[in-house]
Amino acid sequence: MEKVAILSHTDNNRRWTGGLHGARDILEYMPIIHLRRTWDAFLITTVVLGSAFIWMTRATPGGTVVAPPAAAATLPAPFTNHPAPDFTLTTIDGTRVRLSDLRGQVVLINIWATWCPPCRAEMPVIQAAYERFHSRGFTVLAVNQQEDATTIQAYLRENGLTFPALLDGAAEVGVAYQARALPSSFFVDRRGIIRAIYRGPMSRGVIDGTIEHLVAETP
């Protein structure tokens, strides 16, 4: 049997007085805790259990398929759980895009401008999400506020952004969606219902986490 030596500070002048006055008291008065063998076993167990837990709870792509909530308001409005107000705008290359034609897809309506620093800072993240989820039925409508096509085109090309950018020259969509702050983002599910609204810049986790869930929903 291993010999247990008592640490210098556990000698007579620190005898247990009947109460536990701190974490250290527990440690000092339990002999088993001073055994090297106990600690080695404890450390190895922690490594094994911890690694197993990390593996079991690893992030799996795809998420779980769940049905969307049944109840939704019927009046189109820029609020959560309402049908997204419909609009038709022209892309920078002249194609007309109507929101309701995208029914069946998850749509991120991002209201932005090139002069807005937080808008610019989230564009690479939106582009990454667009590339990652496009094949699973996700698209982006980047609704630019009152800038000309040349400025936007130069910006998109320079930054390698490939999602559709729409011209909202009279800020009609900006007003209809009450986008007082830029950027403003609206996540529209496959049924055309706004499921999440984000005013101000979004982190990558918010963008990916929201889309991941919405694309997994059955239309």
Structure tokens at 33: 């805790």
Q: Can you name the residues that pair with 111 across neighbouring β-strands?
A: 143, 184
The residues, ordered by sequence, that sit 6+ positions from 81 with a Cβ below 8 Å of its Cβ are 69, 71, 72, 73, 193, 194, 195
- Alpha-carbon distance of 40 to 30, in angstroms, equals 17
Footprint on residues 114-143 left by other proteins (CB under 8 A): 117-118, 120-122, 124-125, 127-128
Q: How many residues bind other proteins (CB under 8 A)?
A: 68
Number of neighbours of residue 54 by Cβ within 10 angstroms: 9
Judged by CB under 8 A, which of 1, 59, 71, 75 binds other proteins?
59
According to the binding rule CB under 8 A, does residue 21 interact with other proteins? yes
Nearby residues of 212 by Cβ (< 8 Å), 6 or more positions away: 63, 133
Scanning 62-70, 89-97, 134-142, 163-171 for contacts with other proteins by CB under 8 A, the matching segment is 62-70
- Give the residue with the Cβ less far from other proteins, 89 or 107: 107
Piece in contact with other proteins (CB under 8 A), picked from 17-25, 71-79, 85-93, 168-176? 17-25
Gap between the Cα atoms of 175 and 180, Å rounded: 8
The least distance separating other proteins from the CB of residue 33, rounded to whole angstroms, comes to: 6
Tokens matching residue 96:
């007309």
Q: Is 218 helix (H, G, I), strand (E, B) or coil?
A: coil
Under a CB-based contact definition with an 8 Å cutoff, are residues 126 and 207 in contact? Answer: yes
Residue 67 in the binding site for other proteins (CB under 8 A): no
- What is the binding site for other proteins (CB under 8 A)? 2-7, 21-25, 27, 33-36, 39-40, 42-43, 46-47, 50-51, 53-55, 57-61, 63-64, 66, 80, 117-118, 120-122, 124-125, 127-128, 159-160, 180-181, 187, 189, 195-196, 198-206, 208-210, 212-214
